[in-house]
């Protein structure tokens, strides 16, 4: 039995009982404007790629849902349903010390991805689930890529900072400090300095304005 959780531009999310487990099903839907050969190709690539990124993140020590099954005939990933709350909403109820702890943790997790040659591509609190035990899961790797490019790392950090200002503006500065503390500890001082120089450069050239970032938040948010 499938229950629709959320419908996005690219994929639909369902909750399903599968093999005796409650799983999250992410299905990439066909796009009729594309010819079938190309459409299949794109959906296939992204499905495989996301499954791979979800797995690869674990190797860096970043909690992600377990991928149970990838059905390439149906362009679908069956993954663990992470019980918890979106960090985006959870932040609002935390006290100051909890906020600092969680955002330092988020910084550490993003730093671990970067240190292991991965770019998240869409680091927002909408794509993170906090479990009751305080663990933070990254649940969407639809825009992730394998890269050790400092510019890309800088974009990840910059977009996160912009998101703090637009979405968590009441605590933006405090959350940013905590995030960077965690991030620095994970990537090391030298990489940290290089990334922050990039962040400054990106900010100066105004290449990524906040509206563009919001535009990147796609389909895969849990409602």
Partner 1 sequence: MGKPVICLGIESTADDLGVGVASSEGRILANVIMAYTPEKGGIHPREAARHHSRVAGEAVRKALEQASVDPEDIDVVAFSQGPGMGPCLRTGATVARAMAVYLGVPLVGVNHCVAHIEIGKLTTGVEDPLTLYVSGGNTIVSALEGGRYRVFGETLDIAVGNCLDVFAREAGLGYPGGPAVEEAALKGSRYIRLPYTVKGMDMSFSGLLTHALRLLRSGRYRVEDLCYSLQETAFSMLAEITERALAHTRKSEVLLTGGVAANRRLQEMIRFVAEEHNATFHVVPKEYAVDNGAMIAWTGLLMFRAGVETPVEESFVRPRWRLDEVEVVWA
User: Which residues are 15's β-sheet partners?
Assistant: 3, 24
Helix (H, G, I), strand (E, B) or coil at 3: strand
Q: According to the binding rule CB under 8 A, does residue 9 interact with partner 1?
A: yes
Q: Which are the contacts of 215, defined by CB distance < 8 A and separation ≥ 6?
A: none
Q: Shortest approach of partner 1 to residue 193 CB, angstroms? A: 26
Contact in structure between 172 and 219 (CB atoms under 8 Å): no
User: Which residues are 70's β-sheet partners?
Assistant: 77
Q: Which is nearer to partner 1, 4 or 21 (CB)?
A: 4
Please, what sign has the CA dihedral across residues 80, 28, 210, 170? negative
Q: According to the binding rule CB under 8 A, does residue 150 interact with partner 1?
A: no
Q: Shortest approach of partner 1 to residue 86 CB, angstroms? A: 18
The residue count for binding partner 1 (CB under 8 A) is: 27
How far apart CA 32 and CA 21 sit, in angstroms, is: 33
Q: According to the binding rule CB under 8 A, does residue 31 interact with partner 1?
A: yes
Contact in structure between 189 and 146 (CB atoms under 8 Å): no
Q: According to the binding rule CB under 8 A, does residue 95 interact with partner 1?
A: no
How many of the other CB atoms lie within 10 Å of CB of 92?
Answer: 10
Stretch near partner 1 under the rule CB under 8 A, chosen from 5-13, 20-28, 59-67, 70-78: 5-13
Known catalytic membership, residue 122: yes
**Interface positions, 40-69, toward partner 1 (CB under 8 A):** 41-42, 45
Q: Shortest approach of partner 1 to residue 115 CB, angstroms? A: 22
So which residues are the catalytic ones? 122
Chain positions contacting partner 1, by CB under 8 A: 8-10, 31-35, 37-39, 41-42, 45, 121-122, 143, 145, 206, 209, 211-212, 214-218
């Amino acid at each position: 039995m499938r229950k629709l959780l959320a419908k996005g531009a690219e994929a639909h999310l369902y909750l399903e009982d599968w093999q005796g487990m409650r799983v999250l099903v992410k299905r990439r839907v066909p796009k009729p404007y594309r010819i079938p050969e190309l459409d299949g190709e794109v959906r296939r690539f992204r499905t495989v790629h996301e499954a791979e990124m979800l797995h690869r993140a674990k190797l860096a020590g970043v909690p992600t849902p377990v991928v149970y099954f990838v059905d390439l005939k149906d362009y679908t990933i069956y993954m663990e349903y992470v019980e918890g709350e979106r960090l985006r909403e959870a932040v609002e109820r935390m006290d100051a010390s909890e906020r600092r702890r969680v955002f330092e943790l988020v910084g550490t997790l993003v730093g671990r991805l970067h240190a292991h040659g991965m770019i998240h591509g869409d680091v927002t609190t909408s794509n993170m689930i906090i479990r009751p035990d305080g663990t933070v899961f990254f649940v969407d790797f639809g825009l992730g890529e394998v890269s050790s490019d400092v510019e890309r790392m800088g974009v990840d950090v910059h977009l996160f900072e912009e998101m703090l200002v637009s979405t968590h503006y009441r605590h933006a500065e405090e959350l940013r400090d905590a995030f960077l503390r965690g991030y620095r500890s994970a990537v090391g001082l030298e990489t940290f300095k290089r990334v922050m120089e990039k962040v400054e450069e990106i900010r100066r050239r105004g290449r990524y304005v906040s509206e563009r970032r919001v535009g990147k938040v796609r389909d895969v948010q849990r409602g």
